[in-house]
Amino acid sequence: MSTIRIEDLQKVYGKVHALDGLTLNVEPGAIFGFLGPNGAGKSTTMRILTGLAHATAGRAWVGDFEVGDRKGESHKRIAHLIGYLPEEPALYPWMTSSELLDYIGCLFELPTTDRHQRTQELLALTGLEGVSKRRIGGFSRGMRQRLGLAQALVNRPQILFLDEPVSALDPIGRREILEMISSLRGKCTVFMSTHILADVERVCDTVGIINHGHMVVTAQKDELLKRYTIPVVELECESGQEKEFSEWCKILQSNGGIQTVTVEGLVARVVVDDLESARSWLLKQAAQSGLGILRFQVVTPTLEDVFLRLVGSDGRLQ
């Protein structure tokens, strides 16, 4: 049984095919990471599933209800079933956070006592209890993102849609919200769209990768990493050779035995075709270039390595 089911979904804007035959199933209770480069169709998919946009063709179901059914009977039922946090939540700036959550509770027809209790719970959960009386217009983007997540949880949704839920948060806030999302595992189904691969690797148990409007692969995270196991080497250069190291890494990218090279500071992460030949070749090339290598280590592939292999390096990763 699937909580979210999509069959051959298409969305066309003029000559642009935002979705091109997307098919997908998400199991109940999963924390599903929906990945793809910018413009791959992630937000379009989420808008259709939440009823904010209509598909050009194809069908989709949320819970037991078909999205965009012709009679329109399922729209209200789906609205009560889900919670939704858009990438940039639209909030009433003249309200306080307490007033907004209470107002959302009224829309869902929660009793007064339940609304008050739920408001306090969510303010504490998202770290906003200290600013509950401050007007939202004075909130930072990170605070608005926290409040957006709180409003998405007011009705205790069975399915929670999150579009880039932590992109506006600092490292501490990101960790706290990811821990909260992880705590929802088994309690509701979480459908999380993001380009921050490290966050998906941290909290998601199932991953779907979309590119050019269609699914590239869907699998359990551990299965995906195992299926696309690839040789990865990390090299760390001595300080003071930043320029030489950067130039050397650019040369590496043109080698036929190298799949990808990503550089952070003086550490290069190199995905190779053949590990044994790469061991000697990489060190030899580094020595010929006059580089001092402090560390040469074979490492476990990450979700980013798999993503780059399947989609390519045209997406903006973080």
**pLDDT tens by residue, 44-91:** 999 999 988 899 999 999 998 899 775 666 777 888 899 999 888 889
**What 3-state class would DSSP assign to 197?**
helix
Q: Does residue 315 fall inside a structural domain?
A: no
Tell me, what's the pLDDT at 1?
62
Residue 91's Cβ-count burial label (10 Å; 0-12, 13-18, 19+) is middle
Tell me, what's the pLDDT at 246?
84
Tell me, what's the pLDDT at 317?
40
Tell me, what's the pLDDT at 71?
60
User: Is residue 22 a contact partner of residue 210, using CB atoms and an 8 Å limit?
Assistant: yes
- Domain co-membership, 75 together with 192: yes
User: Is residue 142 a contact partner of residue 170, using CB atoms and an 8 Å limit?
Assistant: yes
- Domain co-membership, 217 together with 237: no
**What 3-state class would DSSP assign to 136?**
helix
**Rounded to whole angstroms, what are the CA distances from 139 to 101, 102, 168, 218?**
15, 18, 12, 37
- Domain co-membership, 125 together with 197: yes
* Both structure tokens of 121: 């719970």
- Domain co-membership, 260 together with 117: no
Tell me, what's the pLDDT at 316?
43
- Domain co-membership, 238 together with 205: no
Q: Report the alpha-carbon distance of residue 99 to residue 116 in Å, rounded.
A: 10
Tell me, what's the pLDDT at 318?
39
| pTM (two decimals) | 0.79
- Domain co-membership, 115 together with 252: no
Q: Does residue 122 fall inside a structural domain?
A: yes
Tell me, what's the pLDDT at 73?
66
Tell me, what's the pLDDT at 72?
61
Count CB-CB contacts under 10 A for residue 133. 9
Q: Strand 4-13's sheet: what is its strand order?
A: 16-26, 4-13, 57-62, 65-66
Q: With a cut of 70, list the residues of the chain below it in pLDDT.
A: 1, 70-73, 312-318
- Its domain, for residue 288, covers 232-300
The enclosing H or E element of 144 equals helix 141-152
**What 3-state class would DSSP assign to 84?**
strand
Residue 84 forms beta bridges with which residues?
161
- Domain co-membership, 210 together with 250: no
The last residue of one of the domains, among 176, 197, 221, is 221
Tell me, what's the pLDDT at 10?
93
Tell me, what's the pLDDT at 301?
73
Q: Does residue 94 fall inside a structural domain?
A: yes
Indicate if the alpha-carbon torsion angle 143, 109, 118, 204 is positive or negative: negative
The enclosing H or E element of 98 equals helix 97-107
Q: Does residue 310 fall inside a structural domain?
A: no
